[in-house]
Amino acid sequence: FLRAMYCHSYCNKRYLYQYMATLAGCIAVMSSGINLGWTSPYLPEILNGTYPDISMTSDEGSWCAIMPLIGAIPGALLTMLAVDRIGRKITVLIMAPVTFGAFVWLAFSKSGVVISVLRFIIGSVEGGLYTALPMYLGEISDSEVRGILTASMGLFSILGALFINVLGFHYTIFESSLACACVPLLHFLSFVWMPESPYYYIKKGNKTAAETSLKIFRNAESVAEELDEMVKAVTRQESESKAKFTDLVTIKSNRRAVVIYLIINFARKFSGKNPIGFYTLDIFRLADGDLSEYTSVVIFIGVEVCAAMIGILVIDRLGRRPLVIASIAVCGVTLGLMGTYFFLKDAVASYITHLRWLPLTSLVLYNTFYTLGLELAQTTYLGELFPTNIKAIALGLADVVSVINGAIVSKIFQLIADNFGIHYSFYVLSLACLTALILSAIYVIETKNKTLEEIQLCLVKGSSIQK
């Protein structure tokens, strides 16, 4: 029954080119996942002297870990300017050679400073991707599959993290970096053939090109009715005013969208996925669980991949809001359990002999529910909430806010762990989840099965779209 239901919904030839464009575009996101996950296998080895040519202190290592987040800020700001000038597709495409060159350079690097700079550069590409790609995917997709398409970014980021962790446990930095360089190359060779977003063409006044693009993405010969609706939507949004930064707070519908995004991003970042991802191996090593830290890391990320696959199938069925709320609740509980485990380990070490199963179990549950909700929903909401005339500004600033929050929580996690104990780090994250849960229950809305224009009209009217 389930197979028939999903095949009936998603296995429609109308969506074929939307799936192809999503796959080609999301390959780029694998590079982001690789860069974020790189520190898990390699940073502990650099710090313990496995690579004697690379000198790095613990504090320098923590800065190396958050370099992708810092680099994402200029990347997002530059992309914010580029997407409306050269197009969504070209903006995403030109990131491939930058990433390719950075991975090749990383293979030959013998300096901690150079490694940090290269992680910064790839991080800037990540900032650009998370600005341009949700926009592109949101604009090319039918409302029935928009959730699965935009949520696919989260899946490919996770696949990238799994890829580098598996490579990192078996191969050197030189070998894994050259293997990783193949990812942006594959992205370029596949994405170069994809059409530009029809919304971009309409925004530029090229209705003929928009019609051609829409015909490809809908796999249909006649798209006149949908094209007219797109033209009217863009015309209405563009006619309201020339987009300014202040429009995000002075216009009620934009303000509602900003509040929703800020709550979800606060939950996403302060649930601690960045620091847990950066220090996964160290956390499992410190926990001293039943399984080796290497096996635990592979299970941790492998479960995340499975959860992402399930998540992209149910996000358009169950909706975004219930997944977000359930995700935050479970993350808060499991982080609290991790804090309690480490507290008991320090206070009464003999007591935790019978609890060595808890760290892996807690973090697997954490990762599963984080992925089902917070990981996938943010990119979906980003592609849906903001109108065309201010989408570039909104997504650029959203990515800046996201990486700043990620950098802050990552540094706080490390500082608290080093100075007061890692159990306090987990307790702080758990408390943040409780705060986010309350805010999400009050303010976060549902957007499933709504066209982009319907979502905007609901935000303009201030009406609820939770049903």
Give me the pLDDT at residue 249, please. Answer: 82
Residue 383 has pLDDT above 80, yes or no: no
Residue 90: count other Cβ atoms within 10 Å of its Cβ: 15
For 246-286, the DSSP string reads THHHHSHHHHHHHHHHHHHHHHHHHTTHHHHHHTHHHHHHH
d(CA 305, CA 235): 40
Residue 239 has pLDDT above 70, yes or no: no
d(CA 326, CA 341): 23
Residue 466 has pLDDT above 70, yes or no: no
Give me the pLDDT at residue 156, please. Answer: 92
Q: What are 395's two structure tokens?
A: 């997504």
What is the per-residue pLDDT across 264-318, written as a single tens digit (0 to 9) for each? 999 999 999 888 988 888 898 888 888 888 888 889 888 888 888 888 888 878 8
What is the per-residue pLDDT across 19-73, written as a single tens digit (0 to 9) for each? 999 999 999 999 999 998 898 889 888 888 888 888 888 788 888 888 998 898 8
d(CA 285, CA 79): 39
Residue 5 has pLDDT above 80, yes or no: no
| Residues 36 and 157 sit within 8 Å (Cβ to Cβ) | yes
Give the mean pLDDT of the chain.
Answer: 86
d(CA 91, CA 396): 13
Determine the CATH number of domain 11-194+241-461: 1.20.1250.20
Domain extents in the chain? 11-194+241-461
Residue 464 has pLDDT above 80, yes or no: no
Confidence of residue 10 (pLDDT cuts 50, 70, 90): low
d(CA 442, CA 466): 12
Q: Lowest mean pLDDT: which of 141-145, 239-243, 340-344?
A: 239-243
Give me the pLDDT at residue 1, please. Answer: 30
Give me the pLDDT at residue 31, please. Answer: 93
Residue 385 has pLDDT above 90, yes or no: no
Residue 180 has pLDDT above 70, yes or no: yes
What is the per-residue pLDDT across 312-347, written as a single tens digit (0 to 9) for each? 888 878 888 899 999 999 999 999 999 999 998 888
Give me the pLDDT at residue 242, please. Answer: 64
Q: What are 240's two structure tokens?
A: 């309201």
| Residues 248 and 258 sit within 8 Å (Cβ to Cβ) | yes
What is the per-residue pLDDT across 365-381, written as a single tens digit (0 to 9) for each? 999 999 888 888 877 88
Sign of CA dihedral 443, 447, 450, 453: positive
Residue 82: count other Cβ atoms within 10 Å of its Cβ: 20
Confidence of residue 8 (pLDDT cuts 50, 70, 90): very low
Burial (Cβ within 10 Å: 0-12, 13-18, ≥19) of residue 406: buried
Measure the N-to-C terminal CA separation of the chain; round to a whole number of Å.
25
Q: What are 332's two structure tokens?
A: 């808060």
Residue 462 has pLDDT above 70, yes or no: no
Give me the pLDDT at residue 4, please. Answer: 40
pTM value is 0.76
| Residues 130 and 156 sit within 8 Å (Cβ to Cβ) | no
Residue 243 has pLDDT above 80, yes or no: no
Q: What is the mean pLDDT of residues 216-230?
A: 87
Residue 13: count other Cβ atoms within 10 Å of its Cβ: 8
φ, ψ (nearest 5 deg) of residue 420: -125, -20
